Structure 1
Amino acid sequence: MRIDWEPPAPRSGLSGSWDKFVGPGATPAEELVQLGLGAVIAAALIALFWQGATPDHSNWHWVFVIILALDIGGGIVTNATSAAKRWYHRIGHGKRQHFLFVCAHLLHLGLAAMLFAENPFVFFAIAALALLFGTLIILFAPLYLQRPIAFGVATLFVLLAFLPIMVLSNLNWLLPLLALKLLLGHLVKEAPFQPES
């Protein structure tokens, strides 16, 4: 195995859009893991929602959960690949870009709060502030401490899901899985190992 921090240029056209999303130069095995394992996770999340669904859950609830499950399932796996690490931690892609990437996921929290939380404003305020504060702590940590700090911050963020005020009816996996996708997967800079051949 070798470490390669230089991402290849994204391809043109639709393939290039995919490259900019998951990281150019992904190996066939990485592509298979992203799509295959991501699909299995998404299906499991949808099944979890289905087994606890009630007649109170409207089509909007279902549409949101399906899109969320696909994004989270694929995102957890993709953000951990060497191709993604190399792409999202390349030269010129710094703290600001990482922070904005996490900020984009406030939409997930806002819609989840609106559709599922008993007290939407309180849920969103606590989850959003904790996520953004945790992100800043990880981004400004010294590189050699970034991973253990990220694990600690992610653990504290996961524990929020156990507070009664933070319960999401039938969607309690959201905060723990956002911690995996963003705080541990996307933000932590790790060596992008590549196969020799």
Structure 2
Amino acid sequence: MRNAPSRIEWEYEGKPDFSSGTGATRAERTLALGSACIVPVVVLLLASTRDYGWSWLQLAVALALAFDVGGGLVSNALNSCKRFYHTPPKQSEGKLGVVLKHPVRFGSAHVHTILVALLFDADRWATYGLVWYALLMLSVAVVLRTPLYLQRPASFLAILLATLINFYGIAPVPGFEWLAPLLFIKIVYGHMVREEPYRPA
């Protein structure tokens, strides 16, 4: 399968799909949906085996964030998403397309760490929530200002540093040990790095 025929294609058409990218194949949509279920299952297992003391509202928020981050991490790496988000907005995509196809606006909408801090560890809304958000946006800015041929390794450098900080620097909010590293993969590599979008030949 390594040398299976494929072609680079930037053109797409169809009903706007801001999740998997317009024109995603069935395999691409299946990968995205399947991955979106993994982290919520882990969160449910953690919540049922550890005494977090979460309310039903907190559990619902945790599951929604897990679905978004886990699914988005894989979705943003899809060829269909690379094709969709790294081409100019089309008229059919409306104002939402203009907003979401702007990389800084897309990245800045991911206030997940601030939300987690406010709802699960309010005393650390600044030292956890804001610091992680600032690091995410700094990484976005650095990658976007890096020459294209170095963007992918630069994004992985940011992910490496974020993972180490998550382990040895900023203590995670209990139950969200996964959040910062996966969020950096989703946004800093998955969404920001422009790569050639392949289609099956």
Structure 1 CA distance for aligned equivalents of residues 64 and 19 of structure 2: 16
Moved over 6 A (4+): 93-96
1:139-159: CA deviations, max 9, x gaps? 110000000011001111222
Instruction: Give the corresponding residue for 2:136.
Output: 131
Match of 2:157 among 143, 152, 164: 152
1:90-119: CA deviations, max 9, x gaps? 13579981111111101x111111123352
TM-score, normalised via structure 2 length:
0.84
Answer whether contact 1:42 1:74 (CA < 8 A) is retained.
Answer: no
Q: Percent identity?
A: 33
Structure 1 CA distance for aligned equivalents of residues 105 and 156 of structure 2: 20
Q: What SS is found at the alignment partner of 2:107?
A: helix
Match of 1:82 among 76, 79, 84: 79
Structure 1 CA distance for aligned equivalents of residues 178 and 120 of structure 2: 12
Structure 2 CA distance for aligned equivalents of residues 48 and 156 of structure 1: 26
TM-score, normalised via structure 1 length:
0.86
Structure 2 CA distance for aligned equivalents of residues 94 and 104 of structure 1: 10
What is the letter of the counterpart of residue 21 of structure 2? G
CA-CA distance at 1:31 after TM superposition: 1.1
Structure 1 CA distance for aligned equivalents of residues 101 and 19 of structure 2: 17
Instruction: Tell me how large the CA RMSD over aligned residues is.
Output: 2.1
Pairs aligned (count): 187
Instruction: Give the corresponding residue for 2:180.
Output: 175
Q: Which runs of 5+ in 1 are unaligned?
A: none
Q: Which has the higher helix share?
A: 1
Q: What SS is found at the alignment partner of 1:2?
A: strand
Within 5 A, what are the aligned runs for 1:42-57?
42-54=40-52, 56-57=53-54
* Cα distance change on mapping 1:156 and 1:78 into 2, 3 Å: same
